[in-house]
Amino acid sequence: MEAAYIENAKKWMSSAFDEATRKEVEQVFNTDQKELEDRFYRNLEFGTGGLRGIMGAGTNRMNKYTVGMATQGLANYVVKNFGDGVGVAISYDSRNNSRYFAQITAGVLMQNGLEVYLFDDIRPTPELSFAIRHLECKAGVMITASHNPKEYNGYKVFWDDGAQVTIPHDKNIIDEVNKIEDPSQVKFAPEGAPGPIIIGKEVDEAFFKAVLSLMVTPESVAHHSDLEIVYTPLHGTGIKTVPVVLQRMGFNKVFIVEEQAVGDGNFPTVVSPNPEEPTAMKMAMDKAREVGADIVLGTDPDADRIGLAVRDDSGELKLLTGNQIVAILTKYLLERWKALGKLTGKEYMVTTIVTTELISAICEDYGVELYRVLTGFKNIAEIVRNNEGKRTFIGGGEESNGYNAGEFVRDKDSAVSCGLVCECAAWLADRGQTLYGFLQEIYAQYGLYTDKLVSVVRKGIEGLDQIRQMMVDYREHPVKQLAGSPVVKVIDYLDTEKTGLAKSNVLQFFSADGSKVSVRPSGTEPKIKFYFGVKGDDSAAKIDQLVKQFAV
């Protein structure tokens, strides 16, 4: 009896699939059985965030057919909830095949009786989030694999509030997608079918106006309009928004890394287009050294997260972590809101369970409530939705270099983040201070918090099994101490009664000295993540001990 993956592969070599697909599968079938197994051993999982995977032919790959099947399931759910004729907005990044997948998505949605708005060119994820509400759409799709390597692409689903789908819609959409078992069930658009409504400049202008409305210290920007800033979009969509926002705020010395300003899904100048990584930010930091800039900004391909480098006390450029960026922006916004008399007791901020505990200390100091939610910005957006019209969202962010303020975008937003960072720098310049000095001031006031993320990759079927077993072992044999300090609390986020949050495969260990370790398998990549957090002057040494203890 043939293995299931071989049977699946043979189906994809039939006349039901286009010639290019058949040839690609045939080539792998005849040359690489392990590769064939990886392509066909399962269906590419449509998870709570949508799809993400390597591009290519196969059931476990991003391609016309898997995108079409996902879209058919989504279309069925949208029609079931709202009826036909309602709007869906679509955007896409600069990755290979992103526009193609966006067009496939648009065609399937339209064949199901939905009105589709498609951007005329690449646009960031946060602008899609904005467009959904601006155009009064009921859903949205962003074609992107965020900061993943060039082989990947993805498909993010948004709901009518502009946020990525959460309970119950995420689970219900998954159910509808799982009902589509074969590409023959998909209403692909025939050749020559009418196209979507093309959107662009009008939405851009509305988006820019909203971002600029968040400024809280415009007078400082006027004083320091010559602040020297280097920016790189890392071949992605940020080139469409970040330079425009900075220019309209009043900054007139923004240097673009031209080699990385061209949208290119091969990301030719970086190994991985992740602004959290020093290698991805190298060209921008070299440019800053060349022109003497004090601030370096970078954005990932769909321009929702940022990288930030600043000059330290010795004048050297230092790449900050996501936790440090969140701390700076949280402290800045709260300080300015307090000074402007805008703190009335009805304001709040949001962060995630794996983000530094420093944010809790800052919010407590200002008397502003802080919500902690599961990892993923959609969970931050859910808090904003639940409080809409009742309380005011100041801002919120997560350790993975994502931040947002205001309520018009329901996802992390690099245009907002970059604008706030530069405005904060101008405000600090009025005080004779730098961003790095401000960070040291925060540590001096609240304590030295050191955080580190370590990701362990385990690829293939065996890798998934290894990751599952690691989580089983941590549950059945929980650690008793963290770097020598006894564990005093364990939180298992599968226990919804105790956490009050949705079920999630996350474990957290807290020790008597304030150390925290969170363990979480990635929901989008074949890896398990370890988040280490320590407070105190010896925190760097403790972090090293924790990394060794968890053998990662």
* Catalytic residue positions, numbered: 146
d(CA 325, CA 270): 23
Residue carrying the six token digits 């099994």 = 465
d(CA 165, CA 395): 20
d(CA 171, CA 376): 16
**Residue whose C-alpha is closest to residue 158's, from 498, 334, 411:** 411
SS3 sequence, 99-134?
A: HHHHHHHHHHHHHCCCEEEEECCCCCHHHHHHHHHH
Phi-psi label, residue 401: left if phi above 0, alpha if psi -120 to 50, beta otherwise: left
Within a 10 A sphere around the Cβ of 84, how many other Cβ atoms? 11
Residue carrying the six token digits 């304030």 = 514
What is the helix (H) or strand (E) element at residue 86, kind and residue range? none
Q: Where are the alpha helices (DSSP H) in 397-521?
A: 414-430, 435-446, 460-476, 496-499
Please say whether the beta carbons of 225 and 255 come within 8 A: no
d(CA 26, CA 462): 25
d(CA 425, CA 420): 8
Residue 513 structure tokens: 């000295």
Torsional sign, CA 533, 538, 540, 546 = negative
Which residues sit opposite 232 in a β-bridge?
298
**Crossing angle between the packed helical segments 4-11 and 33-40, to the nearest 10 degrees:** 80
Which residues sit opposite 229 in a β-bridge?
254, 295
Please say whether the beta carbons of 381 and 161 come within 8 A: yes
> How far, in whole angstroms, is CA 187 from its chain's centroid?
30
Torsion angle of alpha carbons 432, 436, 442, 444, nearest 10°?
-90
d(CA 29, CA 24): 9
Residue type, 345: G
